[in-house]
């Protein structure tokens, strides 16, 4: 009996050690932070593919890792459903981006509301960008189709640039919408300075992968990099709103 008790106790202790060592999220986190200290890991969870773990980084970027943290994959994960390939990585990134944008107070945006609002788009914009100006000329048509347009600042040339100073004048104006209208038609604006969210919005854009303007984010977090004509953009925005609603059911 004594031998059996000792063996049983040793087995129990070994099982406890293995349980601690086999925690994939901890092993993956430790491996990634050793590789890159300060890596902004938001969450680690099992992916749809057995044995593969999904690592969400700040800003919505996704990585994949083995449970022991010894293998790392950067790229898209697709799930084959019949004759279709569903991009699970893109879906996860979109959800994370939508969640992040939802934390930005609307009071810090320049908003062009739709009378009969059906959905909204969030546009990272630079007043000096030609295609941003073209998109802005179509805002009334987007509004007419039920799409609210929310602007966030993204001065492509960074702090101190002409675009930055213009956006600062827009955000510090008494009437932001009127100031944005003038900026997008290259009219001179009175210089203005105040506490504003431009630096934070610029950093947010970089964090979620904005590389140029206009960068349009639909309600479900899907990003459209660049200008699209109002009819096409409205159609995509309304379709995305339907997907966002379905995802919450």
Tens digit of pLDDT for each residue in 133-174?
999 999 999 999 999 999 999 999 888 899 999 999 999 999
Spell out the domains of the chain, with CATH numbers in brackets: 17-88 (3.10.450.70), 100-247 (3.40.30.10)
Give the largest CA-CA distance in the chain.
Answer: 93
The whole-number pLDDT of residue 198 equals 97
Q: Which residues are catalytic?
A: 126, 129, 132, 156
Reported as a single tens digit per residue, the pLDDT across 37-93 is 999 999 999 999 999 999 999 888 999 999 999 999 999 999 999 889 999 999 999
Reported as a single tens digit per residue, the pLDDT across 207-243 is 999 999 999 999 999 999 999 999 999 999 999 987 6
Mean pLDDT for 97-115 is: 96
* Nearest in space to 122 (alpha carbons), one of 150, 154, 147, 155: 150
CB of 106 within 8 A of CB of 152? no
Q: How does strand 119-125 pair with strand 147-153? A: parallel
Q: Which two tokens stand for residue 155?
A: 């001065």
The whole-number pLDDT of residue 59 equals 85
Reported pTM: 0.82
Residue 36 has pLDDT above 80, yes or no: yes
The partner residues of 84 in beta bridges, in order of sequence, read: 81
């Amino acid at each position: 009996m004594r031998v059996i008790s000792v063996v049983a106790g040793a087995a129990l202790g070994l099982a406890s050690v293995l349980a601690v060592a086999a925690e994939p999220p901890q092993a993956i986190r430790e491996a990634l932070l050793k590789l890159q200290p300060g890596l902004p890991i938001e969450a680690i969870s099992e992916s749809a593919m057995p044995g593969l773990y999904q690592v969400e980084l700040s800003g919505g970027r996704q990585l994949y890792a083995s449970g022991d943290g010894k293998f790392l994959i950067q790229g898209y994960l697709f799930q084959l459903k019949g004759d279709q390939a569903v991009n699970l990585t893109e879906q996860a990134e979109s959800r994370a981006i939508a969640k992040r944008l939802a934390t930005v107070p609307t009071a810090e945006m320049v908003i062009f509301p739709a009378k009969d609002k059906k959905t909204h788009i969030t546009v990272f914009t630079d007043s000096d960008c030609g295609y941003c100006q073209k998109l802005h000329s179509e805002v009334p048509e987007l509004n007419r189709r039920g799409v609210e347009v929310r602007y966030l600042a993204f001065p492509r040339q960074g702090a101190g640039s002409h675009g930055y100073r213009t956006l600062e004048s827009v955000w510090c104006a008494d009437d932001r919408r009127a100031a944005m209208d003038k900026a997008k038609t290259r009219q001179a604006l009175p210089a203005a300075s105040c506490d504003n969210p431009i630096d934070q919005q610029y950093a947010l854009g970089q964090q979620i992968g904005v590389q140029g303007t206009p960068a349009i984010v639909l309600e479900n977090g899907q990003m459209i990099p660049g200008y699209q004509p109002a009819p096409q953009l409205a159609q995509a925005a309304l379709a995305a709103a339907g997907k966002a609603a379905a995802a919450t059911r």
